[in-house]
Amino acid sequence: MIILDTNVVSEITKANLSPNVGEWFEQQDIESLYLCSPILMELSYGAEKVLLRDRSERFFEGLGYLMEHQFAGRILQFDQDSALLTGRIRARRERFGHQISVQDAMIAAVCLAHGATLATRNIKDFQGLDIRLVNPFEDGHA
């Protein structure tokens, strides 16, 4: 199970996506790829910004397609266990001087709660959290 971070979802919806991401995505079993509700929150935020700026609903339409078709049945929810893990992650990171955004802590918690790998460009934001990470943007996808 691989949860796609917002930056990966944004990339795979582009017409001119990164060759590395395109190759990585093609190699995956689509049924093993998931989204989670904090990712939907971030995508909705971006779509609303575009709507307010350009009066364009194109990103909301794309988000609807992702939820209803491409990832239907494969969206993990931020639940009670994830909420408790989020608090622990944030407190532990702060104690060691490593800040983490609430959104990233939520995503990390969902990954931990489900034993999922996180596909993200922002590897350093999630290091040290006992989450398997993959960067589809890099050669070799390390």
pLDDT (tens digit, 9 = 90+) per residue, 88-114? 999 999 998 999 999 999 999 999 999
> What is the value of pTM for the model shown?
0.93
Neighbour order of strands in the sheet with 33-36: 75-76, 33-36, 2-4, 117-119, 133-134
54 assigned to some structural domain = yes
pLDDT of residue 139: 74
- Give start and end residues of each alpha helix (H) in 55-101: 58-65, 80-95
* Residue given tokens 């339409």 in the structure block: 61
**Does the residue 78 lie in any domain?**
yes
* Rounded-to-integer distance, Cα 86 and Cα 105, Å: 5
Question: How would you write the pLDDT of the chain (142 residues) with one tens digit per residue?
Answer: 999 999 999 999 898 999 999 999 999 999 999 999 999 999 999 999 999 999 989 999 999 999 999 999 999 999 999 999 999 999 999 998 999 999 999 999 999 999 999 999 999 999 889 999 999 999 766 5
Within a domain: residue 142?
Answer: no
Q: Is position 80 within any domain?
A: yes
- The number of distinct structural domains making up the chain is 1
Q: Which domain holds residue 26?
A: 2-137
- pLDDT tens digits for range 114-129: 999 999 999 999 988 9
Is residue 92 a part of any domain in this protein? yes
* Residue type present at position 58: R
**CATH code at 63?**
3.40.50.1010
Residue 47 lies in a domain: yes
Integer Cα distance of 9 and 11 in angstroms: 5
